[in-house]
Amino acid sequence: MKRSSKAVHRLSRRSFLSDIGGGTVAVAVFGLAACSTPESEGSANAGTTTPGTVGTAPELEPGQSESGQATSDAEVTPTETAPAGPLAWERVNLGFVSAYVLARGSELAIVDTGTSGSEGEILRAVEALGGTWSDVNHVVATHAHGDHVGSIAEVMAAAGQSTGYAGVDDLGAINAGRDLVGLRDGDEVFGMRIVSSPGHTAGSISVFDEASGLLIAGDALNVEAGAVTGPNPGFSADVDLGNMSVQRLAELQFETLLVGHGEPVVGGAGEAVVALAASL
């Protein structure tokens, strides 16, 4: 993978993010309903990507997650050796929801794919990190809602060599065009640990990079007006279980938090989640 000449910020666990871009793009949700609405978060920065680098070492109804069988689970073991080097990331800001592209060494990973038609914005983030679709080896869905997996089939078709993943209890609700690997608590993808975070959906997962202190929480956590909050009660299958997942995430050690809805929190994110968990 050839790196672009664009400056990529390299942040230690206690560094802070700078340089946030602007721009707009219209998005629409088809199929599964969104976890949030455009009105709830605005779209001032829609279609932009925000760079960072860390470390060096109608909605599904409750019970509608349709547990599926991980048909490719026996073929691909999600505990592959992590690529070496610092972890860089780009936020794909789609207005009311975000996806993320991660780069480490010569490999790329995508976490969530946004709404239908978002593959072009995701490609811009891939290119901003100096890569192409052929460098994307992993596509991870944090949960089955349409604003997070709306473009997964298109992304995986473009990144034809990639492996797709989702929590085992959300597999049956995701149409990726080909089999996904079912993830369970403690599995590893791209050198990052999978943390089971059910409640928003039965199979919700978070992705944790302990070495760099980075947590991607999907909708297990949200950020509203700079404050970290729990899963949105109006779009969650089991609020009590979601609150228990917040308490579990509070046990992790991290400085940077990336969420599906809201701005990234870079610096002090773990302390903010601990405070949230204590208030539940």
Q: Is-contact 210 253, C-beta < 8 A? A: yes
Distance from C-alpha of 253 to C-alpha of 265, rounded to nearest angstrom: 14
Q: What average pLDDT does the segment 197-215 reach? A: 97
Q: What is the pLDDT of residue 78?
A: 54
174: which 2 tokens? 């995701």
Q: What average pLDDT does the segment 193-213 reach? A: 97
pTM: 0.77
Pick the CATH number of 38-57+66-279 from 3.30.70.100, 3.20.20.190, 3.90.1260.10, 3.60.15.10: 3.60.15.10
- pLDDT category, 54, cuts 50, 70, 90? low
User: DSSP characters for 54-86?
Assistant: E----PPPTT-S-----TTTTT--SBPPPPPS-
Instruction: Break the chain into its structural domains and give their ranges.
Output: 38-57+66-279
Q: Which amino acid is at 63?
A: G
Q: Among 142, 143, 139, which Cα is nearest to 66's?
A: 143
Q: Is-contact 89 102, C-beta < 8 A? A: yes
Neighbour count for residue 239 (Cβ, 10 Å): 16
Q: What is the pLDDT of residue 46?
A: 57
**The tokens 């779009």 sit on which residue?**
235
Q: Per-residue pLDDT for 234 more than 80?
A: yes
Q: Per-residue pLDDT for 14 more than 50?
A: no
